Chain A
Amino acid sequence: MKKHNLVSRLELVNITKQYPGCLANDNISITLMPGEIHALLGENGAGKSTLVKTIYGVVAPDKGDIIWDGKEVNIKSPSIARDLGIGMVFQHFSLFETLTVSQNIELCLSKTQLNKIGDLAARITQLSEEYGLNVNPSRYVHSLSIGERQRVEIMRCLVQSVKLLILDEPTSVLTPQEVSGLFGVLRTLSEEGCSILFISHKLHEVTEICHKATILRGGKVVETCVPNEETPASIAKMMVGDLAEQDAGYAKREGTKRAFNVENLSLPAKQPFGTSLKNINFELKSGEILGIAGVAGNGQDELMAIISGEDERNVKNSLSLGSLDIGHLHAGERRKLGMAYVPEERLGRGAVPDMSLTENTLLTHSDGFVKKGLVEWQSIKEYTSALIAKYKVKCHGEFSEAKSLSGGNLQKFIMGREIGQSPQVLICAHPTWGVDVGAALAIHQALLELRDQGAAILLISEDIDELFLLADRMAAVCDGHLSPVVRTEATNIDQIGQWMAGTFINNSSLHTQEAKA
């Protein structure tokens, strides 16, 4: 980091934001110098996104001042933020898939900005070369990989000569190779004096790239540190507060007999921009966790839907549970045979938002609670209370509506509900996505316990560290193809990363994702 001058780029002074029932930001003060890469860390609900939205003009603070380049400013809207030179890349991209890259970028520029730039496509190409972004202005967004789309979002900020770039969990959707590419871009930007505010859950990334870190807990700044003087473990402790247990290495197991099998599964995509599954074969054994890595949108959702039966197409002879063919059975029948699922989407799919936890228990767990077609509400209530206690789900009680729970707590509830049915096969997608450190640990341990009881677990995740931590065997998906399955001990992040980018596919016609060096 070069200090270009002594005037700070951005200074937040005593920012306070009260939401009904929750003090999201409590007297937060942060200073960012030009060229500084600053990490904003904290568990879910610590107040990171509220703070970032305040800077970007989406949320108005109740109290506090924002000082930009030494002058007090009132950022009333995102357009004012953009005029000042603040750019933001959200976790969920806001690009139109049916438009080209340059059309997408043009959409968010004002007339005067466009006039100033002149030839937009040329400017994009020039910036692309300058920063190594590898963005072709004339390509359609739907043909881009997730990593490329993220670079388009960054490009959108660069075109407007950004002085502060805010990135909300930018690496959660990237392959390891893409991550190192992104970090290269960020370092170049930093050297040119652009400040970067970097929100992440992945602590080793923070220690790798960030100059400073601010840790939030319960809406307050609890600590400021220089990340490369810390370890991921010590930062995690600051985030969680007490001396929380850390995920350590877990023993790997060998599965026993075959529990679930997928054979020659090929399936055209249902949606226009969905992914077709191409000749997928794998075997899942009792007592093992099989991890499937992959960048989002490479067929994981489609695979999960066809295995669970939510995709109702008949795939007889392609799926079997034990020795039983189940490809033609509907989702309810597959559940009855001993399959359970933890979906990626917790609220709205894994749980009904407007229903109580008791009712949400009944959603998938009706065994023993329904006699002659009638529901025994009293016994479900008792069972749900026990479930809440066992998995330490934070809520008012079994009568709480699912939507009143935080993401991590709801996930613990769903996980507990599915595990409580002692499934033979559990399919689990992104179990700890957006979940705080404490809840993630509880979820990991619950999965391992289930494995040790002899269940077969298919773990689909974008978090490659989590897969290496939990999975006994691993594979990767890319564009609907499944890589070979290997024992976790026999592989490494590099190999899985390359598989995620599709290097295992021997097909020249295939579009592979360019991993930036």
Chain B
Amino acid sequence: MIRIQARTEPSSLMKVASPLLAIVLTLIFGCILFSAIGKSPSQALHVLLIAPLADSYNIGEMFVKMGPLLLCAVGLSLCYRANMWNIGAEGQLLAGALGGSAMALYFIDSESAFALPITLLAGVASGMIWAAIPTFLKLRFNSNLILTTIMFNYIALYLLIWAVHGPLRDPQGFGFPESAMFADSTLLPTLFESSRIHLGVAFSVVSAFIAWFILSKSHLGFQIRVFGSDEPAARYAGFSSKKLSWFVMLFAGALAGLAGVSETTGPIGQLVPNVSPGYGYSAIIVAYLGRLHPLGAILAAVFMAVLYMGGDLAQIEMGIPVAVVSMFQGVLLFFLLACDFFINNRLTLSNQATN
């Protein structure tokens, strides 16, 4: 008989192996799924996972998608380390896109060198404000952070839609719900001639290293780690949970806001209703896939970006619905949580004799 037995101590092998195992299981699930809808599994997996890395254009596009995923995931990793269950990266990203775009439109006729930095700062500030409200509600009224951050995702989305239909709509846009194209002075420069990889992608990698530095070298980061691993000890040591909560939430809000404003001033170049294909939600999976480690998040963000790219390619080349990507993400998180169970537990074969 197979029994589940608690491990005496968590398996360090499983901590690393769990995300890999989850990816393999997700791919197996994918094969079954593709067979079921009459597509060749090997071709589908090739398009989903290999094609995005096949040529330099695709690789460039993959990095463009990695940027916002990584920015959000780094912030979320810190939040989750501190037991702050922030599900609001999507809303903070949209708030950043909205605030940043409003500023970019203010500079529409400007050629000032300060236009771009101020636009980016506006995006960052908007993301922080969007993170600050649920944080305040939690600390002041003990409201449930998960619920309020999700609610704020919807509020941000509808605010943004209202803005592109109303005050920020391009007067010469024939009534399309879009803003005017931003001036060159507020567009993020690209890093390479031939691809759309922009400064925001560089920000994301830098942010991962900054977060890693904070966690491993600073006293604040140490306090966050203690909070995440043993809350009674943090209270005993007298670490201020308020201060830490504010820090991680504002940090995450700032990064998500930066992700949003980088999208509108980078690859998109204007404010549109669908700024994000759910980057803020996928970043939750990225954070966990990266084991809540900022540097692990880089690898996980690359993987998730490949999946996004592959989803687009699969739709174009094989007519596979793009919903497959969301499904893959969901299944991946499912398997990841299931595999994580075996960090603290194991299966044992038992019979009467060994008992």
Query: Interface-forming stretch among B85-93, B121-129, B177-185, B233-241?
Result: B233-241
Asked if B222 and A348 make an inter-chain contact with CB atoms under 8 angstroms apart, the answer reads: no
Residues A364 and B237 in contact in the complex (CB < 8 Å), given A373-B220, A374-B217: yes
Residues A352 and B238 in contact in the complex (CB < 8 Å), given A375-B222, A403-B9: no
Asked if A352 and B219 make an inter-chain contact with CB atoms under 8 angstroms apart, the answer reads: no
Tell me if B's interface is mostly helix, strand, loop or mixed.
Answer: helix
Residues of B close to A328: CB separation below 8 A = none
Query: Interface-forming stretch among A133-141, A354-362, A383-391, A452-460?
Result: A354-362
Complex-state Cα separation, A40 to B88, whole angstroms: 58
Residues A374 and B236 in contact in the complex (CB < 8 Å), given A352-B229, A352-B230: no
Chain B minimum-CB-distance residue to A366: B219
Query: Interface-forming stretch among A157-165, A332-340, A478-486?
Result: A332-340
Asked if B233 and A349 make an inter-chain contact with CB atoms under 8 angstroms apart, the answer reads: yes
Contact with A along B202-241 (1 / 0, CB 8 A): 0000000000000001111010011001101101111110
Residues of A close to B222: CB separation below 8 A = 359, 362, 375
Residues of A close to B237: CB separation below 8 A = 331-332, 335, 363-364
- Interface membership of A42, Cβ < 8 A: no
Residues of A close to B239: CB separation below 8 A = 332
Residues of A close to B9: CB separation below 8 A = 403
Residues of B close to A333: CB separation below 8 A = 238
Complex-state Cα separation, A76 to B355, whole angstroms: 8
Asked if A375 and B233 make an inter-chain contact with CB atoms under 8 angstroms apart, the answer reads: no
Residues of B close to A193: CB separation below 8 A = none
Complex-state Cα separation, A370 to B240, whole angstroms: 17
Complex-state Cα separation, A331 to B220, whole angstroms: 16
Complex-state Cα separation, A334 to B226, whole angstroms: 19
Asked if A375 and B236 make an inter-chain contact with CB atoms under 8 angstroms apart, the answer reads: no
Residues A345 and B232 in contact in the complex (CB < 8 Å), given A334-B238, A335-B238, A373-B218: yes
Contact partner, B238, options A309, A353, A354, A373, Cβ 8 Å: A309
Residues A374 and B218 in contact in the complex (CB < 8 Å), given A76-B355, A330-B240: yes
Asked if A363 and B233 make an inter-chain contact with CB atoms under 8 angstroms apart, the answer reads: yes
Total residues of chain B contacting the partner, CB 8 A: 19
Complex-state Cα separation, A76 to B235, whole angstroms: 43
Chain A minimum-CB-distance residue to B352: A76
Chain B minimum-CB-distance residue to A363: B237
User: Which of A333, A345, A349 gathers the greatest number of chain B CB atoms within 10 Å?
Assistant: A349
Contact with B along A44-82 (1 / 0, CB 8 A): 000000000000000010000000000000001000000
- A446 CB → nearest B CB, Å: 20
Complex-state Cα separation, A60 to B230, whole angstroms: 33
Complex-state Cα separation, A366 to B237, whole angstroms: 10
- Interface membership of A260, Cβ < 8 A: no
Contact partner, A351, options B218, B225, B233, Cβ 8 Å: B233
Counting chain A residues whose Cβ lies within 8 A of the other chain, the interface size class is: 20 to 34
Residues A349 and B232 in contact in the complex (CB < 8 Å), given A355-B226, A375-B219: yes
- Interface membership of A424, Cβ < 8 A: no
Residues of B close to A87: CB separation below 8 A = none
Chain B minimum-CB-distance residue to A349: B232
Chain A, range 278-327, C-beta contacts under 8 Å to B: 308-310
Complex-state Cα separation, A341 to B233, whole angstroms: 12
Asked if A352 and B226 make an inter-chain contact with CB atoms under 8 angstroms apart, the answer reads: yes
Complex-state Cα separation, A375 to B214, whole angstroms: 10
Asked if B355 and A349 make an inter-chain contact with CB atoms under 8 angstroms apart, the answer reads: no
- A59 CB → nearest B CB, Å: 11
Complex-state Cα separation, A354 to B9, whole angstroms: 10
Asked if B230 and A348 make an inter-chain contact with CB atoms under 8 angstroms apart, the answer reads: yes
Residues of A close to B235: CB separation below 8 A = 310, 331
Contact partner, B230, options A308, A310, A353, A373, Cβ 8 Å: A353
Complex-state Cα separation, A370 to B230, whole angstroms: 21
Asked if B218 and A341 make an inter-chain contact with CB atoms under 8 angstroms apart, the answer reads: no
- Interface membership of A497, Cβ < 8 A: no
Complex-state Cα separation, A363 to B237, whole angstroms: 6
- A328 CB → nearest B CB, Å: 14
Residues A355 and B229 in contact in the complex (CB < 8 Å), given A309-B238, A310-B235, A332-B239: yes
- A396 CB → nearest B CB, Å: 15
Chain A, range 362-383, C-beta contacts under 8 Å to B: 362-364, 366, 370, 373-375
Chain B minimum-CB-distance residue to A60: B355
- Interface membership of A431, Cβ < 8 A: no
- Interface membership of A227, Cβ < 8 A: no
Asked if B220 and A349 make an inter-chain contact with CB atoms under 8 angstroms apart, the answer reads: no
- B170 CB → nearest A CB, Å: 46
Chain A minimum-CB-distance residue to B230: A352
Complex-state Cα separation, A345 to B232, whole angstroms: 10
- Interface membership of A147, Cβ < 8 A: no
Contact with A along B160-201 (1 / 0, CB 8 A): 000000000000000000000000000000000000000000
Complex-state Cα separation, A366 to B226, whole angstroms: 14
- Interface membership of A343, Cβ < 8 A: yes
Complex-state Cα separation, A370 to B220, whole angstroms: 10
Chain B minimum-CB-distance residue to A373: B218
- Interface membership of A350, Cβ < 8 A: yes
Residues of A close to B218: CB separation below 8 A = 373-375
- A311 CB → nearest B CB, Å: 9
Complex-state Cα separation, A349 to B226, whole angstroms: 11
Complex-state Cα separation, A166 to B149, whole angstroms: 53
Asked if A348 and B219 make an inter-chain contact with CB atoms under 8 angstroms apart, the answer reads: no
- B349 CB → nearest A CB, Å: 16
Residues of A close to B355: CB separation below 8 A = 60, 76
Contact partner, B233, options A308, A335, A348, A366, Cβ 8 Å: A348
Contact partner, B219, options A310, A330, A374, A403, Cβ 8 Å: A374
Chain A, range 205-219, C-beta contacts under 8 Å to B: none
Residue pairs across A and B with Cβ atoms less than 8 A apart, 25 shown, are A60-B355, A308-B236, A309-B238, A330-B240, A331-B235, A331-B236, A331-B237, A331-B238, A332-B239, A332-B240, A333-B238, A341-B236, A348-B233, A352-B226, A353-B229, A354-B230, A355-B229, A355-B230, A359-B222, A362-B219, A363-B237, A373-B220, A374-B217, A374-B218, A375-B222
In addition to A355-B226, A363-B237, A375-B217, 17 A-B residue pairs with Cβ atoms within 8 Å of each other are A60-B355, A310-B235, A310-B236, A330-B240, A332-B238, A332-B240, A333-B238, A343-B236, A348-B232, A348-B233, A349-B233, A352-B230, A359-B222, A362-B219, A364-B238, A373-B219, A375-B218
Interface residues of B (CB under 8 A from A): 9, 217-220, 222, 225-226, 229-230, 232-233, 235-240, 355
Ranked 8 nearest A-B pairs via Cβ: A332-B238, A331-B238, A352-B230, A349-B232, A370-B219, A352-B233, A363-B237, A335-B238
